[in-house]
Chain A
Amino acid sequence: MRKLFFYVPLALFLLLTVFLLSGLFSDPRERESASLNKALPEFALADLMQPQHIWTPEQLHGETFLLNVWGTWCPTCNAELGYLTELRKQGVKIVGLYYELPRDPTFDAPFSLKALQQDVAQKLQQNGDPYQFNILDLERRLSLDLGVSGAPETFLIDSNGIVRAHHIGDINPQIWRAKLAPLYQQWSQP
């Protein structure tokens, strides 16, 4: 009996220690996305470079692709452009969702599409251009509907327009091989 009073609390204590220790190494950003296995939300957004063209979810059906949320203001996004360009050369279709910063009417200059286009063109020339085209999410409505918490984030959309993966953070060779490539293979098979 005395032994039981010693070993039961000890076991509980060790269990708690292991549980708390594992918490030290877990990534708080790693969590199930709410947009998984749902269709792309409704939207009608202009193309960044040809603003007269309006993109809707239906126009994106037919092919599995990556939807990459990015902005030239975001250093990590600029850093991943190089590797994404490599992926494009391997035949991966990548569409950009341009995540524009909110503007403070008191302090910031009004939005200028021309300036943004120049900025984007320059960045893509410097770092590589992985995008088939870019959709401009000026008000970040689509991003909010997709559950985007910042940039960069990447969604894997299948040929029926269903979200199959949601990756928060940059895409590098390790992440691509370990996490996204298998899913891309799985969902791009006809």
Chain B
Amino acid sequence: MKYLIATVLLLLSGALHAQELLQFDNDSQRDLYRSLTAELRCPQCQNQNIADSNAIVAVDMRQKTYELVRQGQERQQVLDYMINRYGDFVHYQPPLNRYTLWLWLAPVLMLTLLLGTAIYRRSRQPQHNADTKSELNTELDQLIKRYRSKKP
């Protein structure tokens, strides 16, 4: 019994002392911090966001993001702060400019091209079919005629 109580107390004490490493003024700040660290890209270990990476620069960027969020800065302000220093590269959502325009245009262009080709081919196909059909018909007619003419 003693051990049971001790175990329960031990387990409880862990839960009671559980404390967040980073403290925020409110939930919206915490959400902002989470979403920002998820979409900012680590310049050192590329293809990891700064929340996942433990590179020195990612640790510093997390710290800076935390400070700026705690100061009450908006999402765009924090993003601008990082982009000013590390370039568009650092944000996983690239802005729309003359270099990135093709990312949006290419799929649309490809789809248009594909649809255009399909429609073009389809518009030709029935004509083609009709031709062979009438050709076949005349051929059949001739065969029937020949067959009939053989019979007395």
Contacts and interface: CB of A to CB of B under 8 A. Distances in A.
Given A149-B44, A150-B44, A101 B85 contact: no
A34 B61 contact: no
A51 interface: no
30 contacts: A28-B46, A29-B46, A31-B89, A32-B87, A33-B87, A34-B83, A34-B85, A34-B86, A99-B56, A101-B56, A102-B56, A102-B59, A102-B60, A143-B60, A144-B57, A144-B60, A144-B61, A144-B64, A145-B85, A146-B85, A147-B43, A147-B86, A147-B87, A148-B57, A149-B43, A149-B55, A149-B86, A150-B43, A150-B55, A150-B56
A88 interface: no
A35 interface: yes
Interface in A80-108: 99, 101-102
B84 interface: yes
Nearest to A102: B59
A31 B87 contact: yes
A147 B55 CA distance: 14
Chain A's interface size range is: 10 to 19
A76 B74 CA distance: 39
Interface in B55-98: 55-57, 59-61, 64, 83-87, 89
Given A149-B43, A149-B44, A35 B85 contact: yes
A164 interface: no
Nearest to A1: B124
A150 B87 contact: no
A144 B85 contact: yes
Contacts, number: 42
A123 interface: no
B137 to A, nearest CB: 26
Contacts of A28: 46
A9 to B, nearest CB: 10
Nearest to B57: A149
Contacts of B56: 99, 101-102, 140, 150
A99 B61 CA distance: 15
B55 A34 contact: no
Interface string A27-69: 0110111110000000000000000000000000000000000
A145 B61 CA distance: 11
Contacts of B83: 34
A31 B60 CA distance: 21
B42 to A, nearest CB: 8
Interface string A72-83: 000000000000
Tell me which of A32, A34, A140 has the highest count of chain B C-beta atoms within 10 A of its own C-beta: A34
A149 to B, nearest CB: 4
A34 B87 contact: yes
A29 B61 CA distance: 18
Contacts of A146: 85
Contact of B84 (A31, A34, A140, A148): A34
A32 to B, nearest CB: 7
B105 to A, nearest CB: 15
**Which 9 residue pairs are nearest across A and B when measured between Cβ atoms?**
A149-B43, A34-B87, A147-B85, A149-B44, A150-B44, A149-B57, A147-B86, A140-B60, A144-B60
